[in-house]
Amino acid sequence: MLRLSGQKFTILAVLIVLLFTVGARAGVPATPRITRAERKLLVWHFDQCSYNALGSVMTYFYGPGPGMTPANRAAFERKTFLDPLNSTGYGAYFGWAPWTGKMVDSGKMVWNGHHVTNLIGANFSLATRKLPTVKIQADPRTHRLIFQATVEFAPGERRKLIDRLRRRLHKGPVIIWTPYAAILNHGDRARQWHQVVRQAAGRYVVPFNPQLTHAVAVFAIPHSRQVLVVDGSDLHGVYRTSANDVVCTAAAMSASVRLKMGGNTILSRCGNMHGDKFDVVFYKASKAALRLIPAHNRSGVIRALAAAGANESRLVKGYALLPESRRPALSFLLANMPRHDLRSLSGAYLARDVSLSYQAMQDRPWHSYVPPRVFLQYVLPYANLDETRGNWRQRLGPMCRQIVAHCTSAGAAALALNKAIFPLLRVSYNAVKRPKPNQSPAESAAAHYASCSGLSILLVDACRSVGVPARAVGTPMWAIHRGDANGNNAGNHTWVEIWDGQWHVLGASEVSPLDHTWFLANASLAYPARNVMLDGVYAHRIYAMTFRRKPGDPGNWFPMVWNLNDHSVYAEDVSADYYHRRLVTLRLTGAAGRHPVRLILHRAGRLIANVAVHGAVKLWLSAGGHYAAVLQTNGRTFAQKLHIGMKKPYVVSLRMD
């Protein structure tokens, strides 16, 4: 293997030169001699076929990894493959081919000394529209069952899939997931990866094993119509074959998975892995994009740009429109935004919105009290739920700045906005006259009516336009089984939480103090109602939207009752925070409490409060709840656990000695 300056392995160059030398062209025999350069791509010593396939891809880009021994193999696999995959929330599916892209996306892979942060793994589909059928026969000699998948192509479909594969191979190596392994042919190399049999026009038969799924890496061969399959199931598993054989074998995979999962259900609990997108192409991001993208969160941005498709270049242009200090904010948006936004919004739109979000924080008295993580999640985002995207900061900002001009706290600003913004825009609640439930601020202003969701979206955006962190919160169905004075017949409801050192509750378009709303009694019943399911979500729970990506499990997306199949809006289950919600006094004791103290409170990993404390502070907490407290003062840190009792007085002491 050649090395250049100790930095890059020139596998691709060697492959091109050697293949051109041996005359790898369209007319070569079906099984020509495999070159040394092609052989070097074979990685076969890992426990999982997906690891072998991904190892071949990594070798293609970064050169071969370190030598494996029985003693270090398990530790290497865990550190190199499984740990990065676990960090994405997909650990339960380790070794499955569709998740090899997730390993790369994690940004935590290291291969041959290279931190893999400049590689894209983009999933696509080689499945046919018609589900392949499976035929079972008995071998008359061995009496073993023989499985065959019949793949049928619609007119022109086979050529489209072959072209799709070739376009992906033009970008980089592809990993396909198949029900077939070369090793199944018992060493008959003449048949290995020449196993597909044409039965009739548009109909092909593929050897099939419903008990085995398998991942292989596919590479383009320069100046040849053939492709290279690197199959880690075999010590000698490097094969030249036709693109047709690869497409037919990959298409048969949907029969295997659908047989296991039943009907058209492909993979459960798999986040943004939908349908038959079992195949993944790997390629490096452009150098121009990498120069602009900050190192922090680069892997998440690269993953997002891969999902953006043809819109990738428009998104990248947003970096050039921002000063370097604000580019990490754009990275946060790109790495977490829904797929449909990645494919439709422009970098110019996002850059302008980022700039306005920073301007909203300027000269606000509460600016210094907003933690960076709260700003990123609840001031910076350009949208709440699935409402129509628009330039609401530009429209709402000027009028909202006048409304809050004399406010000295985020809470006071939110109350002022809630009182003034709806009459100013002439928007009121009406569940019948509003055009749709998920209206944007512009749509609500035009219609003059909005649902509770539309009102909440408008209030959240008004708050964010002046730097008040805010988020939409809601329940798909009240746990109480009777109607209420506002016309909700035990149905859904959406409201607002704003951050002023902790999250405070506010009903949109309702003139009432913070944390004093008509629905708190209903919301308090959500915590015990854990397991009632409604269209895949826990029906009676309370969900707070969050912009940061979450694994695709129930409770991690915001249940939009107008479209429960849309899981693109992430959420936190905050039901526990509404259970026996009480105003609790936290008192500092000990000599260290004489200095200025900052209290940071978490519950189950969620930030509950971040406030300055002078002797004592009152916070809305859940009676019976358990919290983790961190006290910072005079260069010292004190950590302790808190339990809030169920009976009055609601007073807890925090010791600082």
Q: What is the pLDDT of residue 183?
A: 57
- What pLDDT is stored for residue 11 in this prediction? 43
Check residue 273 and give its pLDDT.
41
Q: Could you give the dihedral angle defined by the CA atoms of residues 544, 546, 551 and 554, in that order, rounded to the nearest 10 degrees?
A: 20
Q: What is the pLDDT of residue 442?
A: 95
82 DSSP assignment: I
Does 14 score more than 50 pLDDT?
A: no
User: Does residue 357 carry a pLDDT above 80?
Assistant: yes
| Contacts with 454 (C-beta within 8 Å, 6 or more apart), sequence order | 387, 434, 436, 437, 438, 439, 443, 444
How is the beta sheet containing 119-124 ordered, strand by strand? 119-124, 279-284, 174-178, 214-220, 226-230, 238-242
Take residue 425 and report the two structure tokens written for it. Answer: 């825009």
Tell me what percent of the residues of the chain surpass a pLDDT of 70. 83
Mean pLDDT of 228-243: 90
Alpha-carbon torsion 66, 72, 76, 77, what sign?
A: positive
Lowest mean pLDDT among 151-155, 246-250, 284-288: 284-288
Name the 3-class secondary structure at 109: coil
Give the mean pLDDT of 250-269: 56
pLDDT at 418 over 60: yes
pLDDT in tens, 495-540: 999 999 999 999 999 988 999 998 888 888 887 655 666 666 677 8
- In this predicted structure, the answer to whether residue 392 has a pLDDT above a threshold of 60 is yes
Centroid of chain to Cα 409: 34
The pLDDT confidence band at residue 359, using thresholds 50, 70 and 90, is very high
For residue 221, the model assigns a pLDDT of 94
pLDDT at 111: 93
Contacts of 514 (CB under 8 A, 6+ apart): 411, 414, 415, 498, 500, 504, 505, 506
Report, as an integer, the average pLDDT of 242-271. Answer: 65
Find out whether the peptide bond into 596 is cis, omega within 30 degrees of 0.
Answer: no
C-alpha–C-alpha distance, residues 226 and 193, integer Å:
12
Tell me: the pLDDT tens digits for 464-486? 999 999 999 999 888 776 544 44
**pLDDT score recorded for residue 187:** 58
| Cα 14 to the center of its chain, rounded Å | 37
CA distance 223 to 454: 58
What pLDDT is attached to residue 591?
64
d(CA 495, CA 471): 9
> Which residue ranges make up each domain of the chain?
3-280, 287-362, 381-578, 581-655
Burial of 221 (0-12, 13-18, 19+ CB in 10 A): buried
Q: What does the pLDDT look like over 300-353, one tens digit per residue?
A: 787 788 778 889 889 989 999 999 999 999 999 998 999 899 999 999 999 999
CATH code that applies to domain 381-578:
3.10.620
Is domain 581-655 annotated with CATH 2.60.40.10? yes
Q: Which two tokens stand for residue 473?
A: 């919160």
**Residue 257: predicted pLDDT:** 58
Tokens of 482: 């009777």
Question: What average pLDDT score do residues 212-223 get?
Answer: 90
Residue 48 confidence (pLDDT) above 70: yes
- pLDDT number for residue 655: 82
Evaluate if residue 487 carries a pLDDT over 60.
no
Q: Tell me the three state secondary structure of residue 186.
A: coil
**Mean of pLDDT over the chain:** 83
Higher pLDDT, 25 or 606: 606
Give the pLDDT band (50/70/90) at residue 13: very low
Question: pLDDT at position 263, please?
Answer: 41
Q: What is the pLDDT of residue 532?
A: 66
- Whether this prediction's pTM lies above 0.75 is answered by no
3-state secondary structure of 62: helix
Which residue is it, tokens 């994009």?
289
Confidence of residue 138 (pLDDT cuts 50, 70, 90): confident
Which is more confident, 507 or 289? 507
Evaluate whether 100 touches 93 at the Cβ level (below 8 Å): no
Q: What is the pLDDT of residue 186?
A: 57
Q: How confident is the model at residue 21 (pLDDT cuts 50, 70, 90)?
A: very low
